[in-house]
Amino acid sequence: MLNFDLYTPARIVFGRDTQQKIGKLLKPHARKVLLHYGGGSIKKTGLYDQVVTSLNEAGIAFVELGGVKPNPRLSLVHEGIALCKKEGVDLILAVGGGSAIDSAKAIAMGVHYEGDVWEIYDQGLKIKKALPVAIILTIPAAGSESSGDTVISNEAAQRKYGYGSPHLRPLLSIMNPELFFTLPDNQIANGVADMMSHVFERYFTNTTHVDLTDALCEATLSTIIANGPRLLDNPQDYDAWAEIGFAGTVAHNGLLGMGREQDWACHDMEHELSAVYDVAHGAGLAVLTPAWMSYVYKDNIDMFAQFAVKVMGVTKGFRDKEELVKEGIDRLRQFYRRMGLPQTLSELGIDESKLELMARRATGIEYGQENPLGGLKKLGWEDVLNIYRLCK
Amino acid sequence: MLNFDLYTPARIVFGRDTQQKIGKLLKPHARKVLLHYGGGSIKKTGLYDQVVTSLNEAGIAFVELGGVKPNPRLSLVHEGIALCKKEGVDLILAVGGGSAIDSAKAIAMGVHYEGDVWEIYDQGLKIKKALPVAIILTIPAAGSESSGDTVISNEAAQRKYGYGSPHLRPLLSIMNPELFFTLPDNQIANGVADMMSHVFERYFTNTTHVDLTDALCEATLSTIIANGPRLLDNPQDYDAWAEIGFAGTVAHNGLLGMGREQDWACHDMEHELSAVYDVAHGAGLAVLTPAWMSYVYKDNIDMFAQFAVKVMGVTKGFRDKEELVKEGIDRLRQFYRRMGLPQTLSELGIDESKLELMARRATGIEYGQENPLGGLKKLGWEDVLNIYRLCK
């Protein structure tokens, strides 16, 4: 086990009707909030009215900024920063999924940064301060409700970068599974693929003697695999949503990666797909992950054998590890198929024309740098290109 | 799954040499600390000198109060409160195990309470404030390094009461497995029994649809069971201590009990043993837990069958649940025996003379109240007496 620093301060207020407490919960922390959300579905469902009522009852003033899109845009972040400064906002309340939350975090740190907030992402600057962010989660997937991470797309530059800081850990997140009942099948499936990937990127490691986090990762993956399909059968299954929502938080609050070298190659490769083609993050991950596994498993076949047995439930083939591993990866593909997720880049509308460019960008070569991806196996740009090609 | 409120803010700084960072870590939070510890073993091992050097280098002043005993005493807490007030201490640094930490928490809240701090325990008063507490852990067991809980013994009244508040969550805890290398076998075993019990008290529940926390509990228990015996074989096994230390924190930071009705009957029954006979908490739990299981399993046989299969690895007897459950409980007894833990009250030096009194006290009857213990099965004083008698 490696040395680590675990810090998971985001409070999770979970369960039925919890969104109605938001005003009371924020009262000790804010006088004026920015209400930040997406395309207005929260107005149709009545959630917007509930939030406004609760804020009013608590005597908390607010201004609002809607319009967050999937793969949230830098331009809206700039707008939010200006609005917060002008209005003297002291807390940002994101109502939505990962995109609204990531956008809120970008605004939160931009308010305290004198230059363009994109510089923080682009140059990996260390921030000292950010406005507090609170959340009412409507899409469990990104895990951003507990993490200190944010991913923003600079649409002008066609770049999508992630950034993380302990100062971006949310103050608190409301998670009511009932708020997930209206999600369409593709968003359910994308969310499931995203949270599974958050575990995979921590799970697949060359670090040894990590029994506890191995087992916690396997527990979380097994729970997601058992409950994901139940949501396609019945998107109003409270119990299944409770498991999936909670698992999405545990997957990405940091605990599961403690003491382990992590990987994150699939996320980095996917960010290029989203930056260039604006594909849904979870869908891109579902295409890339099995291909990545097939490409790298020989570098740590024991780790992938463990995955096959402990996560995918393979019970045959112990005398031929290669067979065991392939069966594990195949079962993962079958699971993604069951969830209705895409299997190939062509299903995502991506042809071969930009694969090389994306591989060169993902690894920095295109920008005169050389940043191989991954941890379990270091991937140069040609490796990344090979993996993209496996997904055709 | 029940509604829940998850809040685990205690930062865990884990790994080799981390104790040397304590001054730097506390610098932003404290000018003068109370260094609180036990019987002086930290002076023999050199840890005391390392801590003092680190505090000096960071320019943090300190006063000190040693002498914390197992089942920490109210009288020393009173002394600590007076010292902190007199010296203007703004943070308490506990160097030790659960006893030093629990004593530190009692002092931390006592400084801000006008009456006798015992009233907070005795009457379950709600506190609004406490001094921050930081920790250098030398005995992994109690989980107090991340929890908001404290247990104190009022030696004059022969009472041992627990208390919990979010204000008592530690600021940060240093956990370096190397600091555990000098622990004797009985403390290793007691610690293992204590942390397993922290999981059991959350795991055994009648709440349904708690797949994730079920699996996380099973992951944590399996890790403890796999690594505990390795420590008896070699108390300087860094990897095994890393697993056990980290598991002890995860067992008790709150995560594993979220959304579940919890039990805590074994802890409550054990507190009487410790209060009256001053036995080691873990040893008392090892005696009581299998007896409790045997007494209550019929109330939720499926839960105990799951325990037998998923935790104790029973693979036979699926067509006879009762047989399955008994085999699971028997395997737990075998594990405790392997760890050198006591199996009976008589091994703890406890005869029958006070069993009834303890049963009446544990359930409040003795004090004119009626507080049945437990969650999975509610236990009146006669049930508690029956369980004590099963342990003879």
pLDDT of residue A66: 97
Q: What are phi and psi for residue A369, nearest 5 degrees? A: -110, 180
Among the partner residues A3, A15, A216, nearest to B15 by beta-carbon distance: A3
Residue B211 lies in a domain: yes
Residue A310: its chain B contacts at CB < 8 A?
none
Q: Does B218 touch chain A (CB under 8 A)?
A: yes
- Specify the CATH number for the domain of residue B166: 3.40.50.1970
Tell me if B129 sits within 8 A of B123, measured CB to CB: no
Cα–Cα distance between B340 and B338 in angstroms, integer? 5
Provide the 10 A C-beta neighbour count for residue B167. 18
Tens-place pLDDT, residues A150-179: 999 999 988 889 999 999 999 999 999 999
Q: Does A386 touch chain B (CB under 8 A)?
A: no
Task: Return the half-sphere exposure (C-beta side, CA atoms, 13 A cut-off) of residue B340.
Answer: 14
Mark yes or no for CB contact B222/A216 under 8 Å: no
Give mean pLDDT, residues A24-32.
Answer: 97
A-B C-beta contacts closer than 8 Å: 117
Q: Does A157 touch chain B (CB under 8 A)?
A: no
Residues 6+ positions from B326 with CB-CB distance below 8 Å: none
Mark yes or no for CB contact A215/B209 under 8 Å: no
DSSP state letters, B133-177: EEEEESS-SS-TTTSSEEEEEETTTTEEEEEE-GGGS-SEEEE-G
pLDDT of residue A388: 98
pLDDT of residue A71: 86
Residue B235 has pLDDT above 90, yes or no: yes
CA distance B312 to chain A (A): 15
pLDDT of residue A30: 97
What's the pLDDT band for A358 if we cut at 50, 70, 90?
Answer: very high
Pairing, β A159-164 against β A91-96: unpaired
Residue B158 has pLDDT above 90, yes or no: no
Tens-place pLDDT, residues A271-324: 999 889 989 999 999 999 999 999 999 999 999 999 999 999 999 888 999 999
Average pLDDT value over all residues in chain B: 96
Tens-place pLDDT, residues A193-225: 999 999 999 999 999 999 999 999 999 999 999
pLDDT of residue A275: 87
> In A85-94, which positions are buried (b, 16+ CB within 10 angstroms) versus exposed (e)?
eeeebbbbbb
Residues A162 and A192 placed together within one structural domain of the fold: no
Residue A71 lies in a domain: yes
pLDDT of residue A158: 84
- Which residue blocks in A117-210 are alpha helix, DSSP H? 118-123, 185-203
Cα–Cα distance between B189 and B197 in angstroms, integer? 12
pLDDT of residue B176: 98
Q: Does B226 touch chain A (CB under 8 A)?
A: yes
Cα–Cα distance between B383 and A81 in angstroms, integer? 62
Residue A341 has pLDDT above 90, yes or no: yes
Among the partner residues A5, A13, A18, nearest to B13 by beta-carbon distance: A5
- Specify the CATH number for the domain of residue A366: 1.20.1090.10
Mark yes or no for CB contact A212/B18 under 8 Å: no
> By CA distance, what is A166's nearest residue in B?
B11
Tell me if B210 sits within 8 A of B4, measured CB to CB: no
- Which residue blocks in chain A are alpha helix, DSSP H? 22-26, 41-44, 47-57, 74-87, 98-110, 118-123, 185-203, 211-233, 238-252, 265-277, 281-296, 301-306, 321-338, 355-362, 381-390
Provide the 10 A C-beta neighbour count for residue A20. 15
Tens-place pLDDT, residues B280-322: 999 999 999 999 999 999 999 999 999 999 999 999 888 999 9
Residues A54 and A151 placed together within one structural domain of the fold: yes
Tens-place pLDDT, residues B244-261: 999 999 999 999 999 999
Q: Does A313 touch chain B (CB under 8 A)?
A: no
Among the partner residues B4, B12, B222, nearest to A215 by beta-carbon distance: B222
* CA A50 to mean position of chain CA atoms: 26
Mark yes or no for CB contact A216/B211 under 8 Å: no
Residues B341 and B216 placed together within one structural domain of the fold: yes
Residue A103 lies in a domain: yes
pLDDT of residue A159: 87
Rg of chain B over Cα atoms, rounded to whole angstroms, equals 20
Residue B165 lies in a domain: yes
Residues B329 and B190 placed together within one structural domain of the fold: yes
CA distance B162 to chain A (A): 23
* CA B31 to mean position of chain CA atoms: 30
Residues A321 and A295 placed together within one structural domain of the fold: yes
Prediction ipTM score? 0.96
Tens-place pLDDT, residues A63-92: 999 999 988 999 999 999 999 999 999 999
Residue A358 lies in a domain: yes
Among the partner residues B1, B4, B246, nearest to A239 by beta-carbon distance: B1
CA distance A316 to chain B (A): 17
What's the pLDDT band for A3 if we cut at 50, 70, 90?
Answer: very high
Last residue of a domain, one of A162, A179, A196: A179
- Let me know if A114 is exposed, middle or buried by CB neighbors in 10 A (0-12, 13-18, 19+): exposed
- Domain total in chain A: 2
Residue B349 has pLDDT above 90, yes or no: yes
CA distance A107 to chain B (A): 24
Mark yes or no for CB contact A259/B14 under 8 Å: yes
Residues A219 and A118 placed together within one structural domain of the fold: no
Residue B358 lies in a domain: yes
Residue type, A366: E
Residues B277 and B317 placed together within one structural domain of the fold: yes
pLDDT of residue B320: 94
Average pLDDT value over all residues in chain A: 96
Residues B369 and B250 placed together within one structural domain of the fold: yes
Q: Does B223 touch chain A (CB under 8 A)?
A: yes
For A38, the token pair is 């997406």
Tens-place pLDDT, residues B58-75: 999 999 999 999 889 999
Residue B212: its chain A contacts at CB < 8 A?
219-220, 223, 243, 246-247, 250
Cα–Cα distance between B298 and B292 in angstroms, integer? 11
Last residue of a domain, one of A145, A179, A213: A179
- From residue B123, how far is each of B56, B160, B171 by CA, in Å? 40, 13, 26
Provide the 10 A C-beta neighbour count for residue A210. 25
Mutate to test the interface with B, among A174, A243, A306, A311 (most CBs of B within 10 A): A243
Mark yes or no for CB contact A216/B212 under 8 Å: no
Residues B93 and B190 placed together within one structural domain of the fold: no
CA distance B223 to chain A (A): 6
Q: Give me the residues paired with residue A94 across strands.
A: A36, A135
Residue B351 lies in a domain: yes
Q: Does B209 touch chain A (CB under 8 A)?
A: yes
In the stretch 6-45 of chain A, residues with CB closer than 8 A to chain B read: 6-9, 11-16, 18
CA distance A254 to chain B (A): 12
H-helix or E-strand containing A91?
A: strand A91-96
Last residue of a domain, one of B150, B179, B208: B179
Tens-place pLDDT, residues B95-139: 999 999 999 999 999 999 999 999 999 999 999 999 999 999 999
Tell me if B291 sits within 8 A of B236, measured CB to CB: no
Residues B252 and B356 placed together within one structural domain of the fold: yes
Residues B272 and B148 placed together within one structural domain of the fold: no
What's the pLDDT band for B278 if we cut at 50, 70, 90?
Answer: confident
Mark yes or no for CB contact B243/A4 under 8 Å: no
Residue A352 has pLDDT above 90, yes or no: yes
CA distance B221 to chain A (A): 9
Boundaries of domain holding A99: 11-179
Residues 6+ positions from B153 with CB-CB distance below 8 Å: B71, B72, B73, B74, B159, B160, B274, B275
Residue B322 lies in a domain: yes
Q: Does B129 touch chain A (CB under 8 A)?
A: no
Residues A303 and A211 placed together within one structural domain of the fold: yes
Tell me if B289 sits within 8 A of B221, measured CB to CB: no
